[in-house]
Amino acid sequence: MPISCPNFAVQSLHLRSSSFTTTAREINFTPRDFGISPPIFRTNLRPNSVNYSSRCNCSQTIFSAEAARDYDDQLKFESERYSDELEVAVKAVHMACLLCQRVQESLIAKGDDHVQSKDDDSPVTIADWSVQATVSWVLSDAFGSANVSIVAEEDVQELSKTDSIGILNSVVKTVNQCLAEAPRFGLKSPPNPLSTSDVLEAISRCNSIGGPTGRFWVLDPVDGTLGFVRGDQYAIALALIEDGEPVLGVLGCPNYPMKTELLSYHQRVLSTQPSANWDKGCVIYARKGSGGAWMQPLLRKEEKKFVWPNSASEIKVSTIDNPALATFCEPVEKANSSHSFTAGLAHSVGVRNQPLRVYSMVKYAAIARGDAEIFMKFARAGYKEKIWDHAAGVVIIEEAGGVVTDAGGHHLCFSKGMYLEGLDRGIIASSGSTLHNKIIRAVDASWNSSSL
């Protein structure tokens, strides 16, 4: 029996099956018009299952009962897509946040010497390796190691040196302490504590190099390690990429308070807030195409009986589009992004507020939560941005209603391996297209006279 369904043609564009691609084209829309990325649109095709019959005289599309059923099935399928992966990812990041809080507290309290320097002089700590091992183990246990491919920042080279034995032992202890808590999140603990070689294996299993096809996870176990060792902001970032497009993003921000006004409070977060009588820490996540981004408060590690599932609230980008009222955020270190160039851009578009300088992908979280309107990063010429520093943040900002592109206005490309290849000058994220376009025009106007 045919069913007349008002606005069905437009609704049906959300269905993402090949049949609807045709429907969309007939009325001059493409999946991109709806923020649907082609790789997702193409997957799970169910060709010919929709009987596109005719149009009624009031311009409403008429579909068969079979089509309506198919519509419901497809909607259900879409709303459940990646739900297992997202659930495990959120739990793994949540566990990693508690792990990091413990390590950071001990590092600040004892002035721990377990901070190593990598070949590029950047810091790496027990927390970086421990989170990588933990998340790797949790994902492999949940989905089977044969099905899990991970691109991640750390390797075991430094950790395997004979003089790193003390650090390695601390990593193994930290990982086992964290995994022992897995049942509190509804996950399994390993039947026996992981051995040193199990932990090394879990870290080095994250050796995928990414690419344009298939599915892989992208993990930055501690983003903003410098902020971490200084007792300041840092993030745990996990994304899932399918056929070159990030489809899930999870950001753990253990020192980013639920109450916005505390973000501008920078240094010595831990030492001056000892009783933690404030909602410190959150986990933010989003699924590509769902049109929403969500935030959970971080469960307190000292609460022995915390209840999972945790509550979540929806987050949205700021509605401010007047540069005079906008705040921009950028890296703390001027070695990582030119502060003078961004100050010039901000001035030329009429931004008056002081920049919010925050370590790590907490900057992406700040835009998604509506705590700032613009994020800019212009690294020195020759620096290649890594996919793990951006993938999770991009999904979250876009689903919260914002925009992320390079300075040429192109989407960031996650399909060319571990680097954001072809990045045009720098990265800009904004709460909306008005501010975004102004910044892009300002970059064009001042780029040639810059020293970047």
Ligand X SMILES: Nc1ncnc2c1ncn2[C@@H]1O[C@H](COP(=O)(O)OS(=O)(=O)O)[C@@H](OP(=O)(O)O)[C@H]1O
Binding residues for Mg(2+): 153, 220, 223, 389
Neighbouring CB atoms inside 10 A of 80's CB total 9
- Does position 342 bind ligand X by CB under 6 A? no
Annotated binding residues: 153, 220, 223, 389
Residue 399 interacts, among Mg ion, ligand X, none and using kind-specific CB cut-offs from 5 to 8 Å, with none
Name the segment binding ligand X (CB under 6 A); options: 46-54, 210-218, 311-319, 333-341.
333-341
Give the separation between CA 435 and CA 349, rounded to whole angstroms.
9
- Does position 333 bind ligand X by CB under 6 A? yes
- CB-CB contact of 390 with 427 (8 Å): yes
Q: Restricting to residues 128-187, which ones interact with Mg ion according to CB under 5 A?
A: 153
- Does position 386 bind ligand X by CB under 6 A? yes
Give the separation between CA 11 and CA 277, rounded to whole angstroms.
46
- From residue 353 to residue 372, the character string flagging contacts with ligand X as x (rule: CB under 6 A) and all else as - is ------xx------------
| Tokens describing residue 35 | 């923020």
Least distance to ligand X, CB of residue 371, Å: 16
Q: Using CA atoms of 248, 414, 431, 28 in order, give the dihedral in degrees to the nearest 10.
A: -90
Neighbouring CB atoms inside 10 A of 360's CB total 29
Which of 252, 289, 331, 355 contacts ligand X by CB under 6 A? Answer: 331
Residue 194 interacts, among Mg ion, ligand X, none and using kind-specific CB cut-offs from 5 to 8 Å, with none
3-state secondary structure at position 406: strand
- Does position 122 bind ligand X by CB under 6 A? yes
Least distance to ligand X, CB of residue 153, Å: 6
- Does position 251 bind Mg ion by CB under 5 A? no
Question: What is the distance of C-alpha 364 from the center of its chain?
Answer: 8
Which of 224, 252, 323, 401 contacts ligand X by CB under 6 A? Answer: 224
Name the segment binding ligand X (CB under 6 A); options: 158-166, 200-208, 290-298, 381-389.
381-389
Which of 306, 383, 419, 447 contacts ligand X by CB under 6 A? Answer: 383
- From residue 96 to residue 135, the character string flagging contacts with Mg ion as x (rule: CB under 5 A) and all else as - is --------------------------x-------------
For residue 373, the one-letter residue type is: E
Catalytic residues: 128, 225
- From residue 150 to residue 189, the character string flagging contacts with ligand X as x (rule: CB under 6 A) and all else as - is ---x------------------------------------
Q: Which residue spans within 157-316 are E strands per DSSP?
A: 215-223, 235-242, 245-253, 282-287, 293-297, 313-315
> Angle 418-423-424 (CA atoms, 0-180°, nearest 5)?
170
3-state secondary structure at position 420: coil
Q: Is 168 exposed, middle or buried (0-12, 13-18, 19+ CB in 10 A)?
A: buried
Instruction: Kindly give, in sequence order, each residue whose CB lies less than 8 Å from that of residue 448, ignoring residues fewer than 6 positions away.
Output: none
Sheet holding 313-315, edge to edge: 150-152, 215-223, 235-242, 245-253, 282-287, 293-297, 313-315
Q: Restricting to residues 35-64, which ones interact with Mg ion according to CB under 5 A?
A: none
Least distance to Mg ion, CB of residue 383, Å: 13
Binding residues for Mg ion (CB under 5 A): 122, 153, 220, 222-223, 225, 389
Positions in the binding site for ligand X (CB under 6 A):
122, 153, 220, 223-227, 331-333, 335-336, 359-360, 379, 383, 386, 389
